[in-house]
Amino acid sequence: MTEAKLEALLNEGRSFAPSAQFAQQANAQPSIYAQAAADPVAWWKSQADQLTWTTTPTKSLEWDLPFAKWFSDGTLNASYNCVDRHVAAGKGDKVAFHWIADAEGESRTITYAQLQKLVSQAANALSELGVVSGDRVAVYMPMIPEAVVTMLAIVRLGAIHSVVFAGFSAEALSSRIIDSDCQFVVTADGAFRRGAPSPLKPAVDEALASCPNVKAVLVVRRTGGEVDWKDGRDHWWHEVVDRQSEEHVCESFPAEHTMFIMYTSGTTAKPKGIFHTTGGYLTHVSTTYRLIFDVKPDLDVCWTAADIGWITGHSYIVYGPLINGATQVMYEGLPDSGGRDRWWKIVEENKVSILYTAPTTIRTLMKWGGEHPAGHDLSTLRLLGTVGEPINPEAWMWYREHIGGDRCPIVDTWWQTETGGILISPLPGITATKPGAAMTPFPGISADIVDNDGNSVGNGEGGYLVLTQPWPGMTRGIYGDPERFKETYWSRFPGKYFAGDGAKRDKDGAYWLLGRIDDVMNISGHRLSTTEVEHALVSHPSVAEAAVVGASDDTTGQAIVAFVTLRLSAEDATGDQTAIVEELRTHVAKVIGPIAKPRQIILTPELPKTRSGKIMRRLLRDVAENRSLGDVTTLTDPTVVNMIAGLMETKGDSDD
């Protein structure tokens, strides 16, 4: 479909009616909106009642703004709810995971009964290493079954996992380990990417040089490469876990027991340790998975194509699907490991029926061309989901036509690390969908769009997205920093949760998410703050000053563009600008991780500043996106901007 045609469709207010096939048999029936609206807290309690509790809660919400407790007098075990209860219900032979390796032909199938044994052994091993309830355990692992087993084993013991994306640097890992004082780390020797081993253990060794409190490191052998070893601290998984008993009787913990920490970027250089507690989080993710993805555990094969290093992996690979007893595909590799049609081979071979991914991946697959999906039988698919950033209508339409065969509903799900689970999304079989819109707050969720003064905007208007009532999966705060929690989320509009996103309500009242309105960038669905990247740049000895902006990018949504002034000595020494630019890009990748590598670095003798000394980021964003520059009269030196714009034009983009 051409852009122009698409525009025309959109202008007509194109929407896709709910699928008739879904309407009959969907897990969510239209009456739930009214039921939930009549008494949201009672509705959430009825959802919580579907978990297996050791002590059934009598309490629902206790709200001491901005601190919420849900179901606080109940006790349960998260791992039991994900695994043991299905085995106890006679579903032990049901497949939990079809794990598919990066290399074609390598796979593992794990049933719920096998998962129970693996998790029990891992829990016994962690106990032996000294892990007890309340301890923080860092997890730095590739997409292998042991990663899921580890998370389940940790929460089984009432310990707290802090999963750090394996693409993050040693420095990023150590700062997260230190911030929440993790005393244990679970990792692997390496990972496979497009057939090549890529080491992980060296980053852990480097990180731990500054983490003296770490007592034990458990290492899965995945690639078989040489690793350095610290006797007494390091333990091989196959030596410690495999010899453990396959039985582990689990304890129960209070609903408000902390379950995990997930670091995410805010507007400062220091990532925030967002923490979630057990009962509310599990209620939220299991309910949303059941109703939004319409999972039928006996029929569906679900594939959330995300990494466990992000919240999507936590909520919709591990906890939401497993509580529902779903069968899933878990994939280790990249979308083009083994060829550009690898995903579609996986869908065909495993009869995947529910696929959940990010717009950036959809755009990449779209660029590779429709012939790749067309060469495979994708008729098993019945529902498609997207998450992580606003999806452009063109990508939405491609997903619908080329992947969904024009028949699968698409759920565009808006949420955040902080929200625990999905808050805004269509419900299949109920909601008519519009290409690019997240549509409607989930039952039991009170969202609003407000203007600068906090007043609700009307249909057809835009503003800031807020949540006006607490929900079960809501973060309970920033680990160790309650003040920052209040300040970041609850002070902009008193009494309301401020998400940091711009949004619009269209003439029909549907929600459209418009992207971050703060200094948070969204690179391929990953959050990074501009300040974080600036700090990384100025930590290089040659850099005097740096300003970073997120510029729109056809594939990654946003891309990092950095404006850098060098120290005089560095400028004198290096005549070769290309070399220093490359060095700086590599430096950022080393400090934060490859996802933070700037697409482009512009060396400039000066940065545009207001008279009060603030860097004019808005102007730099205009420059980076080739927009005409507005009013520059507030600058100390307006000519700086034109000079930078000139520099932009003479420099080509770097292309990796």
Q: Residue 559: left (phi > 0), alpha (psi -120 to 50), or beta?
A: beta
**For residues 178 and 471, what is the distance between their CA atoms, to the nearest angstrom?**
30
CB of 444 to ligand WT7, least distance (A): 18
- Tokens representing residue 447 in the block: 């969202």
Token pair in block for residue 300: 């569906």
For ligand WT7, the closer of residues 264 and 277 by Cβ is 264
Nearer Cβ to ligand WT7, position 443 or 550? 550
d(CA 81, CA 85): 6
Classify strands 258-264 and 272-277 as parallel, antiparallel or unpaired: antiparallel
Q: Would you say 115 or 387 has its CB closer to ligand WT7? A: 387
Q: Judged by CB, which is closer to ligand WT7: 137, or 387?
A: 387
562: left (phi over 0), alpha (psi -120 to 50) or beta: beta
Smallest gap from residue 107 Cβ to ligand WT7 (A): 27
- What per-residue string of b and e applies to 452-483 under the rule 16 or more CB within 10 Å gives b? eebeebeeeeebbbbbebbbbbbbbbbbeeee
Nearest-approach distance from CB 173 to ligand WT7, in angstroms: 18
Residues 517 and 464: beta-carbon distance below 8 Å: yes
Q: H or E stretch including 20?
A: helix 20-25
| 504 contacts 424 by C-beta, under 8 angstroms | no
Q: Token pair for residue 164?
A: 């750090």
| C-alpha closest to that of 364 among 338, 385, 395, 393 | 395
Closest CA to 126 of 160, 86, 76, 172: 160
Q: Is 90 helix (H, G, I), strand (E, B) or coil?
A: coil
CA 12 distance to own-chain centroid: 33
Closest contact distance (angstroms) between CB of 289 and ligand WT7 is: 14
**Closer CB to ligand WT7, 516 or 587, in the complex:** 516
Nearest approach in angstroms of CB 419 to ligand WT7 is: 7
Least separation, in Å, of the C-beta of 227 and ligand WT7? 31
CB 551 within 8 A of CB 561: yes
Task: Name the residues that contact ligand WT7, by CB under 6 A.
Answer: 264, 311-312, 387-390, 412-417, 438, 499-501, 513, 516, 522, 525, 527
Shortest Å, Cβ 359 to ligand WT7: 8
- For residues 140 and 414, which CB has a smaller minimum distance to ligand WT7 in the complex? 414
Which CB atom, from 312 or from 350, has the smaller least distance to ligand WT7?
A: 312
Kindly state the smallest distance separating residue 58's Cβ from ligand WT7, in Å: 32
By the 8 A CB rule, do 467 and 279 touch? Answer: no
Torsion over CA: 493, 507, 17, 29 (sign): positive
Q: Which is nearer to ligand WT7, 252 or 265 (CB)?
A: 265
Write down the least CB distance from residue 259 to ligand WT7, Å.
Answer: 17
- How many Å apart are CA 438 and CA 505, to the nearest integer? 10
The structure tokens listed for 267 are 């507007």
How far, in Å, CA of 453 to CA of 458, rounded? Answer: 14
Shortest Cβ 316–ligand WT7 spacing (Å):
9
Of 441 and 500, the one with the shorter C-beta distance to ligand WT7 is: 500
Q: Which is nearer to ligand WT7, 390 or 409 (CB)?
A: 390
Q: If you ran DSSP here, which 8-state letter would residue 415 be given?
A: -
Decide whether 101 or 274 has the Cβ nearer to ligand WT7.
274
* 284/297 Cα distance (integer angstroms): 18
CB of 275 to ligand WT7, least distance (A): 14
